[in-house]
């Protein structure tokens, strides 16, 4: 079966800031339950990055009835931009980035805000997510979210420490995600 990907319709898109991350939440309706929705970064290299809400077909036969969806994605996004551009089937929205309120306090903690176990001073920190509840996928996503290493040696070793593993379920983002929060510790920093 050929998987078809196209821009998805949306009824609402919201964005919430937590540290260097933006949580994008898209809601809408699909013509059948035979689609899955993803929020991905646009392939066009532009700063700040832009995003798209896409639907893709799933295999199988599905009844022809309208199905609601809610999809959330965490993306790194420059902190000095108050809006994020999101493309969808009806066009493009400039979505105002809100601060995370009390209803997202669990999410803020997952990305390291007011963390019980913070990274040591001088360490780089990142969080990654996996909708498949896969540690490997969440760890790889966290590592990709780290800023570029500022190592003076070409053959230096990266020391990465996992400081938190958890999962988020439900809430306004409709979470079903494992998260992994990591610290990249510079060789000059000692840590117990």
Is the preceding peptide bond at 80 cis, omega within 30 degrees of 0? Answer: no
Q: For residue 87, how many other CB atoms are within 10 A of its CB?
A: 18
> DSSP character for 51?
E
41, 121 Cβ separation under 8 angstroms = no
Query: How much of the chain exceeds pLDDT 70, in percent?
Result: 93
114, 52 Cβ separation under 8 angstroms = no
Examine the pLDDT at 189 and tell me if it is beyond 80. no
Q: What is the pTM (predicted TM-score) of this model? A: 0.88
72, 24 Cβ separation under 8 angstroms = yes
Examine the pLDDT at 190 and tell me if it is beyond 60. no
Write out pLDDT tens, residues 123-152: 999 999 999 999 999 999 999 999 888 766
How far CA 49 is from CA of 44, 57, 74, in Å, comes to 8, 26, 13
Residues 111-120 as b/e (b if ≥16 CB within 10 A, e otherwise) read bbeebeeebe
Write out pLDDT tens, residues 57-102: 988 888 888 999 999 999 999 999 999 999 999 999 999 999 999 9
Write out pLDDT tens, residues 156-171: 788 899 999 999 999 9
């Amino acid at each position: 079966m050929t998987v078809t990907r196209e821009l998805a319709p949306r009824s609402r898109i919201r964005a919430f800031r937590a540290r260097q991350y933006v949580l994008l939440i898209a809601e809408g309706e699909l013509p059948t339950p035979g689609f899955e929705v993803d929020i991905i970064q646009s392939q066009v290299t532009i700063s700040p990055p832009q995003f798209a809400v896409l639907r893709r077909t799933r295999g199988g036969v599905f009844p022809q009835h309208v199905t609601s969806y809610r999809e959330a994605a965490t993306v790194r996004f420059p902190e000095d931009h108050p809006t994020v551009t999101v493309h969808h089937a009806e066009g493009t929205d400039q979505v105002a980035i809100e601060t995370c309120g009390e209803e997202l306090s669990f999410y803020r903690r997952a990305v390291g805000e007011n963390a019980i176990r913070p990274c040591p001073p001088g360490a780089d920190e990142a969080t990654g997510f996996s909708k498949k509840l896969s540690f490997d996928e969440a760890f790889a996503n966290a590592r990709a979210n780290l800023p570029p290493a500022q190592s003076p040696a070409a053959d230096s070793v990266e020391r990465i420490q996992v400081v938190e593993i958890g999962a988020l379920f439900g809430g306004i983002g409709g979470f079903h995600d494992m998260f992994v929060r990591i610290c990249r510790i510079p060789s000059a920093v000692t840590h117990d």
